[in-house]
A and B are shown apart, each in its own frame.
Chain A
Amino acid sequence: MVPYEYYVALSGLLLVLGLIGVIIRKNIIAILLSTELMLNAVNIAFVAFDMKLADVSGQVFVFFILTIAAAEAAIGLGLIMAIYRLRKDVDVNTLTELKL
């Protein structure tokens, strides 16, 4: 059996990967996908700790995170649709009207 620490390490890696994706990707769809990746990393962490503690409340929390991730993805895609309709563009370098 794989020890739970491996899963926790994997989840931390995915979280950092998602964070890097949010920072360096230029396509707004890819940025949205990166935030979803971070939320799924959290799911892995919850299930891993759940396995360690032999408890079920961590798995219940995973359901909440899944629901919220779906809601955020729906809103994010809706906003991307609205932005694309107004600008015909999905690149963050050219989509900058609000500035310091």
Chain B
Amino acid sequence: MSILEQLISGLTFPNLYILLPEIIVLLTAFIVFVLELLSKSKFSITIITTVGLILAFLSTSIIKEGGVTFYGLYLVDTFALLFKAFLIMGTLFVVINFRPYFDAKKSYYGEYYYLTLFALLGTMIMVSSPNLVTFYIGLELSAVATYILAGMFKRDYKSKEGAFKYLIIGGTGTAIISYAIAILYGRTGTFDTLEIAKQVNLNNLDYGVIGGLILLIIGLALKASAVPFHHWTPDAYEGAPTPITAFMATVAKIATYAIILRIMVEAFPFVSKEWALAWAILAALSMIIGNIIALKQENVKRMLAYSSIAHTGYIVAALAAPTGIGISALIFYSLIYLFMSVGAFITLSALEKTPGWTNHIDDFKGLAKKNPVVALAMLIFMFSMLGIPPTIGFMGKLNVFLALIGSNIWWLAIVLVVMSIISAGYYLRVVVYMYMYDPVKTSRHNLAPPEVVTIGIMAIVVLFFGIYPTFFYDISTTVTSLLIASIGR
């Protein structure tokens, strides 16, 4: 047997069946890429992207059993499929709102569509990585595409400045994460999370493991914008076009939470006390600083950016209790955060089309008199982010709170409750301005059909599943038990 034959006989064909959602998203991106060069037809680009995303969403449900492919570099399990379905759905609701917004802002480029699809593909690779190499590639694919998206506003300096800050701090985060991977590789000799888990336990903690773990947590916290590594978030979110902000604040963020959970639980299950303390401190800082700085924001988009930092705090607070309840609370909160955040940012993007709208809080004066339906939807999203009972945001916070109490981490539970009360200051301010003032300007707000659909669906989901949270509760509990069962694999 010649050397070439030996080489070929060692190759196996990848199991493409379980990669179906990724393949559909990638093909759609390539088709849009070519079509954008050839025809410039805005209508067909939107339709093809939408149809591709719907097909990808449906294809996540026809995969009957998962598996490992690409020589153990790619893992499709229930956890990955669940997050992929929600990531695709979030992207779908963001993408359909591109055209009305960019047409109104005179900043239309066909590039937005395929770059968003590439970023989505990166997040999908990220959530199904059993290996640090795959994780790194997915993270960078989504990050690099998002840097471009954030800076693509035509002739707008703020967009470029926000994107540049994001690039520099994101690039630093990349370097820190890859250095952490290098140290862990040097210590354990492998990139596979389960192999790392076998070699890292309480009896052999040394400087290599601790240094690698600390650097990895810093890098991941930087990508998830936890305080004190949050400085890029408000600038990048404020500068980016609002639908892109919606994408960054939901799809990219949720994939980051998912991969934080996966790496911590799968690669370091036997040192969970150590990383739980680190995440508890980061969560407390994020809640305190994010909420307090949000109080003094006059710009609603920037206020929502700080609120997203605070939400990072609420979500990673669940990691402080590394039990089944804590993991399930994290999954529950990340999934429902998609709905309220997409809803709030798309409402903002719909209002921003009005001439003279600057996202300043004064612009919201008397919105309820001019456009009662939009004001009601905004009220629902604000109440949900604040965590008022009939909305789903309350259930998310309640789950995290119960998980913290179940693990006797009272100080963090108290911080969570106190900071939720403080956050009422800025969420309710928007509501007060909308309902208790008279309109200053008489400009009308015209909503495009996709925006009506998105805002309507998100408001109904937030209300309906707030009354009936069993659906989300069941799926997060099931996924958690499967994830825990896979630790000793």
Contacts and interface: CB of A to CB of B under 8 A. Distances in A.
Nearest to A60: B133
A38 B151 CA distance: 23
Contacts of A57: 133, 185, 190-191
B182 to A, nearest CB: 4
Interface residues of A, number: 43
Contacts of B162: 98
A64 B137 contact: yes
Contacts of A11: 179, 182
Contact of A41 (B140, B175, B234): B175
A61 interface: yes
Given A64-B136, A79-B164, A82-B151, A41 B179 contact: yes
Nearest to B180: A42
Main secondary structure of the interface of B (DSSP, over half): helix
Contacts of B181: 61
A87 B159 CA distance: 13
Given A18-B175, A64-B133, A98-B238, A80 B164 contact: yes
A1 interface: no
A58 B163 contact: no
Interface residues of B, number: 39
B161 to A, nearest CB: 6
Contacts of A64: 133, 136-137
B158 interface: yes
A24 interface: no
Contact of B168 (A22, A45, A65): A22
- Which of A19, A68, A71 is the most central at the interface, judged by chain B CB atoms within 10 Å of its CB? A68
Contacts of B185: 46, 49, 53, 57-58, 61
Interface string A80-100: 101100110000000111101
Interface string A35-61: 100110110011011001101011011
B136 A79 contact: no
Most buried by A among B136, B144, B163, B168: B168
